[in-house]
Amino acid sequence: MTPKRLNTIKNTLNRRQPDLTVVMENVRKPHNLAAVARTLEAVGGLDIHAITALTSIRLTQLAAGGTKKWIEVHKHPNTIEGLAHLKKQGHQIIATTLNEASKDYREIDYTRPTAILVGEELEGITDQAVELADENISIPIVGMVQSLNVSVASALVLYEAYHQRNKAGMYDSPFSQRLHISAFCSGVYLFGFCRPSTTLLLFNKRL
């Protein structure tokens, strides 16, 4: 690995936002998951969560554009377990859904640890997910269509989160300092970025 490549990886890692993620409920189209993951990685995310009954979830190469090297996919069997896991980590759950309680997506404070909850564009998120969410948000639409593609909606919300976090200086300091992560853990993250294939192999072997 060249010094230039290593420096690029270090700079990218320093701007990571481990407390910003997306949760996709009832994932049926792998390319949608991959497209959302690509945008999440672009704004500094590390993990994406899928609530699905499917036995396996993977990022399709075409839509992911190499993202699967940098984003870890976490699978949850049901909505209650998935959202409980994220709430235990301190995330606020922000559900993208249109109802009387929905706020404009730009009114939310995304500088807090945040999990953006999205669903399939035809069915949306479940009533159970809406009840478990901390806030409901919607994206203004003035045309005849009633909804946006899930990857487009996710991108709009994620870049609003990026705008707020960037304005707050959250991309200016190493995430290890922002989240009080030890030097050892920071080194583990760096190794994972430099050698993603080796890291995945070690993880699968539980080494």
The H-assigned helical ranges of the chain are: 3-14, 30-42, 61-64, 79-88, 127-132, 150-167, 175-178, 183-194, 196-204
The reply to whether 101 and 192 lie within a common domain is no
Residues 6+ apart with CB under 8 A from 161: 20, 43, 110, 114, 116
The reply to whether 70 and 144 lie within a common domain is yes
Specify the CATH number for the domain of residue 73. 3.40.1280.10
pTM, entire model: 0.81
The reply to whether 122 and 199 lie within a common domain is no
Supply the pLDDT for residue 3.
73
The reply to whether 179 and 102 lie within a common domain is no
The reply to whether 11 and 22 lie within a common domain is no
Contact predicate 95/136, CB 8 Å? yes
For the CA atoms of the chain, what is the radius of gyration? 17
Give the pairing of strands 92-96 and 114-119.
parallel
User: pLDDT per position in the chain (207 positions), as tens?
Assistant: 677 766 666 676 778 899 999 999 987 777 888 889 999 999 999 899 999 876 666 655 444 556 767 888 888 999 999 999 999 999 999 999 988 889 999 999 999 999 999 997 677 899 999 999 999 999 999 998 888 889 999 999 999 999 999 999 999 876 656 555 555 455 555 555 555 554 454 445 554
Supply the pLDDT for residue 55.
63
The reply to whether 26 and 1 lie within a common domain is no
The reply to whether 94 and 136 lie within a common domain is yes
CA atoms 186, 46, 160, 94: torsion sign: negative
Supply the pLDDT for residue 159.
98
Beta bridge partners of 52: none
Q: How many domains does the chain have?
A: 2
The reply to whether 7 and 30 lie within a common domain is no
Give the residue numbers spanning the domain of 57. Answer: 18-170
